């Protein structure tokens, strides 16, 4: 029996399904240069919503984002002020939040800031859609912090976590545009940074 007769018998489809051939998927865009260079490590994290996510693949790839590091138990009071300020930015961005702009706040104390602690913190600030508070393994959080350059050459100063909480990184992975902004800047100034990140 030649190939044409075999296909004509209608046996090709059952054979293909029995081989469990994968469905044709949309091509995945290659990692951005920043991700390939190690600036956006794909570490696993746990969101305050209970989801396990990977930093680059699930949160950054193809998105416009702002992310910062913070402490729930911030002694100086800077983190609550920064979070309140970012909450005002979220209001200014309106419907774009959770649709084409996403915020991520990453704890620098994963050993104490559990998912439940982050959930209560997020609820206290009444954060809306498009903003996740994240924790994870200490080594993975440390890798993220260092990949963003929040490092001091003096080991004693580097251990002081309050030295690493004043700035946020923002950018568009698809367009490969990145910058940094002080989380204590006026909310209008932070919101305006997203104007040059649109395609």
Domain harbouring 185, CATH code: 3.40.30.10
Assess if residue 6 is contained within a domain: no
Does pLDDT of 3 surpass 70?
A: no
CA distance 66 to 63: 10
How many CB atoms neighbour CB 62 within 10 A?
12
Q: Is residue 34 predicted with pLDDT exceeding 50?
A: yes
Q: How sure is the predictor about 159, in pLDDT bands with cuts at 50, 70 and 90?
A: confident
Q: Report if residue 19 sits inside a domain.
A: no
Q: Over pLDDT 70: what percentage of the chain?
A: 85
Identify whether 12 is part of a domain: no
Please check the confidence at residue 27 and state whether its pLDDT lies above 50: yes
Does residue 169 sit within a domain? Answer: yes
Question: Residue 20 domain-assigned?
Answer: no
User: Over 50: is that where the pLDDT of 11 sits?
Assistant: no
DSSP state letter for 134: E
pLDDT of 25: 55
In this model, does residue 165 exceed pLDDT 80?
A: no
Structural domain boundaries, residue 108? 26-197
Q: What pLDDT does 4 receive?
A: 47
pLDDT, tens digit (0-9, with 9 covering 90-100), for 48-97 = 999 999 999 999 999 999 999 999 988 777 888 999 999 999 999 999 99
Find out whether 67 and 168 touch, Cβ atoms under 8 Å.
yes
Q: pTM of the entire structure? A: 0.83
Predicted pLDDT of residue 172: 96
pLDDT above 60: residue 20: no
9 occurs within a structural domain: no
Locate tokens 């290659």: which residue? 30
Query: Span 39-50, mean pLDDT?
Result: 97
Count up the domains in the chain and report the number.
1
Is residue 16 in a domain?
no
Q: What is the mean pLDDT of the chain?
A: 86
Please determine, for residue 173, whether its predicted confidence score (pLDDT) is greater than 50.
yes
In a domain, 34, yes or no: yes
101 forms bridges with which residues in the sheet?
A: 97
Q: How many helices (H) and strands (E) would you count in the chain?
A: 8, 7
Give the pLDDT score at 37: 93
């Amino acid at each position: 029996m030649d190939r044409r007769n075999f296909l004509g018998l209608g046996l090709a489809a059952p054979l293909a399904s029995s081989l469990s051939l994968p469905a044709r998927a949309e091509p995945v865009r290659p990692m951005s240069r920043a991700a390939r260079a190690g600036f956006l490590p794909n570490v696993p994290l746990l969101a305050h919503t209970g989801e396990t996510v990977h930093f680059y693949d699930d949160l950054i790839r193809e998105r416009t984002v702002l992310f910062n590091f913070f402490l729930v138990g911030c002694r100086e009071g800077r983190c609550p002020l920064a979070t309140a300020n970012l909450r005002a930015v979220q209001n200014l961005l309106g419907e774009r939040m959770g649709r084409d702009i996403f915020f991520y706040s990453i704890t620098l104390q994963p050993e104490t800031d559990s998912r439940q602690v982050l959930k209560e913190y997020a609820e206290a600030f009444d954060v809306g859609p498009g903003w996740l508070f994240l924790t994870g393994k200490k080594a993975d959080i440390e890798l993220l912090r260092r990949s963003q350059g929040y490092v001091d050459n003096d080991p004693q100063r580097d251990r002081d976590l309050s030295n690493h909480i004043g700035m946020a990184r923002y950018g568009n992975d698809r367009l490969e545009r990145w910058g940094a902004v002080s989380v204590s800047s006026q909310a209008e100034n932070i919101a305006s940074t997203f104007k040059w990140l649109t395609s």
